[in-house]
Amino acid sequence: MDDTPDDSAALLQLLGTPGTAVFLDFDGTLVDLASTPDGVRLEAGVVEALALLAERHGGALALISGRPIVQIDAMLAPLTLPVAGVHGVERRGADGVLHVAATPDVSPVLARAQALAERYPGLLVEQKRGAVALHYRLAPDLEQLCLQEMTAAVQACPGVLLLHGKMVLEAKPAATDKGGAIAAFMQETPFAGRRPVFAGDDTTDEAGFAYVQLAGGQGVKVGKGPSAATLRLASPGALRAALLTASVSPFKE
């Protein structure tokens, strides 16, 4: 029996309250995790629910993802939303302007990760703008070897931080994170002056939880595991259900 707390009612109240700014992670939050990044699928009705919810909140809904923006756009097409990609390295505001942060050289990390993947076919290397992700979901027994290799690679690259997510190790710029991306959105129309709510599932989302809660909002942890978030949902399915309900329910003043 799953004993994960279910704060769906509290989330529904937040989503149904005027003046909320909604921020959502993608993998493991809006969609279920898959064996490979290309294997995730959006369930029917989710894009429509996001469009309705964004409209009801005056456009104050954004995705905050580790994926590049181009991938998020492809998944949500034809819907285009404000998005922060690669943990904030890329950020497109509601006005459509793209902001790209300066990034350190991660080519030594990429080379080391690719060399490891050539030795072990179960590993997958994902190259992003200023970041490198090494996925070992198809070879979980190689976790310690991957951690050892990626740690050594990052230590040789100033300004690069290693994130340990769900079956993935990602080298990314230390100067950018999801909390900073949300903070930047909160300085802009239509997010400014609203109460931020951020839902995420992984260690990479903790910076986002910390920011929104410091700003008087709520973090929503999706799934099991320790977290600073004050609210929790059992699964991505529970989050999707809340979004679908909130998108068609009347606002509560």
What is the layout of strands, in order, in the sheet containing 160-165? 124-128, 131-135, 168-173, 160-165
Contacts of residue 112, defined as CB under 8 A and 6 or more positions apart, other chains included, come to 149, 150, 152, 153
Give me the sign of the Cα torsion angle 55, 58, 59, 61: negative
Rounded to 5 degrees, φ, ψ at 160 are: -115, 135
Which residue is catalytic, options 2, 3, 6, 25? 25
Q: How far apart are CA 95 and CA 80, in angstroms?
A: 11
What residues pair up with 218 in beta bridges, in sequence order? Answer: 197
DSSP 243: H
Contacts of residue 97, defined as CB under 8 A and 6 or more positions apart, other chains included, come to none
Rounded to 5 degrees, φ, ψ at 165 are: -100, -160
Q: How far apart are CA 233 and CA 237, in angstroms?
A: 9
Q: How far apart are CA 76 and CA 78, in angstroms?
A: 6
Indicate if 25 belongs to the active site: yes
Cβ neighbours of 169 (radius 10 Å): 23
Q: List active site positions.
A: 25
